[in-house]
């Protein structure tokens, strides 16, 4: 199980787990719950340049379509290909097998720690 306190979070409900200059990115369980059953993901291609704060993909559910924002400026170095066959991994394991992309880069949007993210989502029912 991922230590949720070791992650960083964005106000757009992405989580970031850094390993050197590579950031693994996913959406939080809060966001996955709000979206409902995820049925499709549109992720950036490996090698694509992304800019922190800009839309870089979409997550489609039975309820709505949500935008994925790049929390880091850099290059996409890996995408979670398992989501092509089973996008519901985002709902069942948002902080594990449901990760979305890995981006090599250093500049990021403003990030929150776990307490800051919880404060953001408290009362945002």
pLDDT digits (tens, 9 = 90+) for 72-111: 999 999 999 999 999 999 999 999 999 999 999 988 888 9
Q: Which residues of 56-79 are buried (b: 16+ CB within 10 A; e: fewer)?
A: bbebebeeeebebbbbbbbbbbeb
pLDDT at position 29 over 80: yes
Domain segments of the chain as ranges: 4-112
Give the whole-number percent of the chain exceeding pLDDT 90. 86
**Phi, psi torsion values for 93, nearest 5 degrees:** -150, 65
Task: Answer whether 72's CB lies under 8 Å from 47's CB.
Answer: no
Contact by Cβ (8 Å): 91, 38: yes
Tell whether the model's pLDDT for residue 58 goes beyond 90: yes
Please check whether residue 49 is in contact with residue 62, taking contact to mean a CB–CB distance below 8 angstroms: no
Task: Assign domain 4-112 to a CATH class.
Answer: mainly beta
pLDDT band at 1 (very low <50, low <70, confident <90, very high): low
pLDDT at site 61: 95
């Amino acid at each position: 199980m991922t230590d949720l306190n070791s992650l960083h979070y964005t106000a757009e409900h992405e989580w970031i787990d850094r390993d050197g200059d590579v950031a693994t990115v996913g959406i939080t369980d809060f966001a996955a719950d709000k979206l409902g059953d995820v049925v499709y993901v549109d992720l950036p291609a490996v090698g694509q340049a992304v800019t922190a704060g800009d839309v870089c993909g979409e997550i489609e559910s039975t309820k709505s379509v949500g935008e994925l924002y790049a929390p880091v400026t850099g290059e996409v170095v890996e995408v979670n290909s398992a989501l092509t066959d089973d996008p519901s991994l985002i709902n069942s394991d948002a902080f594990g097998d449901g990760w979305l992309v890995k981006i090599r880069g250093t500049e990021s949007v403003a990030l929150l720690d776990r307490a800051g993210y919880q404060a953001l989502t408290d009362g945002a029912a």
